Amino acid sequence: MLYISTRGGCSAVSSAEAILRGIAPGGGLFVPAEDVTFTQKDFLDLIDMTYQDRALHILKKFLTDFSTKSIEQCVQQAYATEKFDTTMIAPLTTVTDKLAVLELWHGPTCAFKDMALQLLPHLLVQSAKVMGDKYKYAILVATSGDTGKAALEGFKDVANTKILVFYPNEGVSEIQKYQMITQEGSNVGVVAIEGNFDDAQSGVKRVFTNGEFQEELAALGYKLSSANSINWGRLVPQIVYYISAYLDLVRFGKIKYGEEINFIVPTGNFGNILAGYYAQKMGLPIHKLICASNENNVLTDFIHTGIYNRNRHFYKTISPSMDILISSNLERLLYHLSGRNSSQVKQWMEDLQHNGLYKVDQDTMKRIKQLFWADFSTDPETLARIKDVFTKHKYVIDTHTAVAWDVYAKYYNQTKDQRMSVIVSTASPFKFNASVVKALFGLEALENKSEFDLLEFLAAKGNLPIPNGLKNLKQKEIKHSKVCIKEDMIEVVKDFLA
Ligand SMILES: *Cc1c(COP(=O)(O)O)cnc(C)c1O
């Protein structure tokens, strides 16, 4: 299987090269050059397998230049049972006979980013081996909180890699900060940047575009890489859980094989839901992929009108991981649904860059509407939904999951669709505990409580265990206390790698 760019203009590369490069020359994204399909038998053969074995068989079809043995090693290390708090890895909870929840937050950092970031480091190292590349990889990440921690946990102690995370000194929550500054591992670094997230991000970008510095690093035996969500190595692991969830529904007797179901996905950068699209393309019986947004509803408008317009107010919401106005992975969907029309995609992306806006043609729009449905939820609706779900089902959900649940309610009201539907749950409620406690017990419940107190409070009131990754954080040894200004970032990276 070879990979080509959504914007054309570069020759096809192997999956190893696509993963090592991250982004295609000219700014496009790598996509499989041919469609990967499974027969009914291929799917059903996976039904009695563990999550890890399902992953192996699915990944093999996309990473044809990797040996089976090496994919197996990657998968076993990524989804090891000491890293996830359930052997199911991505367990399905049924709520009613029409509704189930796919919990993607049982990994070390309690959010769905672990599903991909646990595997990506191993795929990256393996890709370097496949390519006969002798360099070590230095991963630089600027984070507004969650991705940095998930990347640290993924790369921790992975041979031939080092990871350095910059977080804004003003701008991450106490818990997020403690998660990072107590990070263990022999190859990790965490540094606070004086400033906000944009300062951290623009600083990291400057390091990446400094050619002279890259040469210096090469002399030290290092290449720079990022772990961002447009890398094919982050997308491909996510295909697995859509298929796995479907097979679990069949295995538990909730549906018969062949019955179409819906997935409702809380969406930001469009990576998660795009993996669902690839699963559907492989032949998984999916009726609708329901794209749920918060008030930053640029995708809702796009799926309704065919016009993508980022020129709008940016809202800070209680589902911050979806506060995004440019959904980068949408480019891959447009490539496929325009009939692999790379010159058209290139034009749209140029329109977006220059005017903040593009409009897709009728045929592409028709295909989008066949498979996708979209709506959004405001913060008050999200809070009300958390309360309602707890009241009705005794089930505590986080704010991102609540956006999806609320959009599902809107979908059901409008369509009365009786098909089985799966809400994709992207974070543990403990991760966004202040909003969850406020939704369930009112604003008063937050008074005089630190974020750490709120963990205990939610555990007691919700009768839930605090996840391992968040427990005893305050007692852990602080291992990273460096603070720098963004002008000094290159020096900091040099020191870290020397
Ligand atoms: C990243 C994230 C999302 C958005 O996922 P995309 O792949 O960017 O669409 C949703 N919920 C949570 C909790 C996340 O961390």
Cβ–ligand 1 distance for 145 under 6 Å, the answer: no
Ligand 1 center from residue 487 Cα (angstroms): 30
Ligand 1 center from residue 45 Cα (angstroms): 30
Cβ–ligand 1 distance for 238 under 6 Å, the answer: no
CB 297 within 8 A of CB 382: no
Which atom from ligand 1 is nearest to the alpha carbon of 268?
9
Nearest CA among 383, 433, 421 for reference residue 403: 383
Ligand 1 center from residue 371 Cα (angstroms): 20
pLDDT of residue 68: 97
- Beta strand pairing status for 357-359 and 307-309? antiparallel
CB atoms within 10 A of CB 105: 26
Average pLDDT over residues 58-85: 96
pLDDT of residue 191: 96
Cβ–ligand 1 distance for 266 under 6 Å, the answer: yes
Ligand 1 center from residue 269 Cα (angstroms): 7
pLDDT of residue 144: 79
pLDDT of residue 317: 93
Chain Cα centroid distance, residue 348: 24
Q: How confident is the model at residue 208 (pLDDT cuts 50, 70, 90)?
A: confident
Which atom from ligand 1 is nearest to the alpha carbon of 400?
11
Average pLDDT over residues 103-123: 96
Which atom from ligand 1 is nearest to the alpha carbon of 431?
13
Cβ–ligand 1 distance for 201 under 6 Å, the answer: no
Nearest CA among 200, 118, 109, 124 for reference residue 426: 109
Cβ–ligand 1 distance for 269 under 6 Å, the answer: yes
Taking the C-alpha atoms of residue 463 and residue 469, their distance in angstroms, rounded to an integer, is 18
Chain Cα centroid distance, residue 173: 20
Average pLDDT over residues 255-271: 97
Ligand 1 center from residue 260 Cα (angstroms): 24
Taking the C-alpha atoms of residue 24 and residue 12, their distance in angstroms, rounded to an integer, is 10
Lowest-pLDDT choice from 72-76, 107-111, 166-170, 330-334: 166-170
Radius of gyration of the chain, Cα coordinates, nearest whole angstrom: 22
Closest protein CA for atom 15 of ligand 1: 321
pLDDT digits (tens, 9 = 90+) for 372-429: 999 999 999 999 999 999 999 999 999 999 999 999 999 999 999 999 999 999 999 9
- Beta strand pairing status for 286-293 and 188-193? unpaired
Nearest CA among 266, 267, 411 for reference residue 330: 267
**Residue 315: strand, helix, or coil:** coil
Structure tokens that stand for 280 in this block? 């559907």
Q: How confident is the model at residue 268 (pLDDT cuts 50, 70, 90)?
A: very high
Average pLDDT over residues 63-75: 97
Taking the C-alpha atoms of residue 397 and residue 392, their distance in angstroms, rounded to an integer, is 12
Taking the C-alpha atoms of residue 198 and residue 195, their distance in angstroms, rounded to an integer, is 8
Average pLDDT over residues 447-456: 94
Structure tokens that stand for 229 in this block? 């969500």
Structure tokens that stand for 117 in this block? 């970031």
Taking the C-alpha atoms of residue 498 and residue 495, their distance in angstroms, rounded to an integer, is 5
Residues 6+ apart with CB under 8 A from 486: 193, 194, 195, 199, 200, 202, 203
Cβ–ligand 1 distance for 403 under 6 Å, the answer: no
Polymer length in residues for the chain: 498
- Provide the residue type at 120 as one letter: L
pLDDT of residue 498: 85
Q: How far apart are the first and last CA of the chain?
A: 38
Taking the C-alpha atoms of residue 225 and residue 227, their distance in angstroms, rounded to an integer, is 7
Q: Mean pLDDT of all residues in the chain?
A: 95
pTM beyond cutoff 0.85: yes
Residues 6+ apart with CB under 8 A from 353: none
What are φ and ψ of residue 210, in 5° steps? -90, 100
Structure tokens that stand for 40 in this block? 């009914």
CB atoms within 10 A of CB 55: 30
Q: How confident is the model at residue 483 (pLDDT cuts 50, 70, 90)?
A: very high
Ligand 1 center from residue 220 Cα (angstroms): 35
Which atom from ligand 1 is nearest to the alpha carbon of 105?
13
Closest protein CA for atom 2 of ligand 1: 321
What are φ and ψ of residue 395, in 5° steps? -130, 125
- Provide the residue type at 330 as one letter: L
pLDDT of residue 452: 92
pLDDT digits (tens, 9 = 90+) for 4-46: 999 999 899 999 999 998 989 888 999 999 999 999 999 999 9
Cβ–ligand 1 distance for 271 under 6 Å, the answer: yes
Ligand 1 center from residue 33 Cα (angstroms): 26
Residue with tokens 């595997």: 119
Q: How confident is the model at residue 464 (pLDDT cuts 50, 70, 90)?
A: very high
Helix (H) or strand (E) run with residue 488 in it: none
Cβ–ligand 1 distance for 146 under 6 Å, the answer: yes
CB 359 within 8 A of CB 275: no
pLDDT digits (tens, 9 = 90+) for 216-227: 999 999 998 888
- Provide the residue type at 465 as one letter: P
Cβ–ligand 1 distance for 272 under 6 Å, the answer: yes
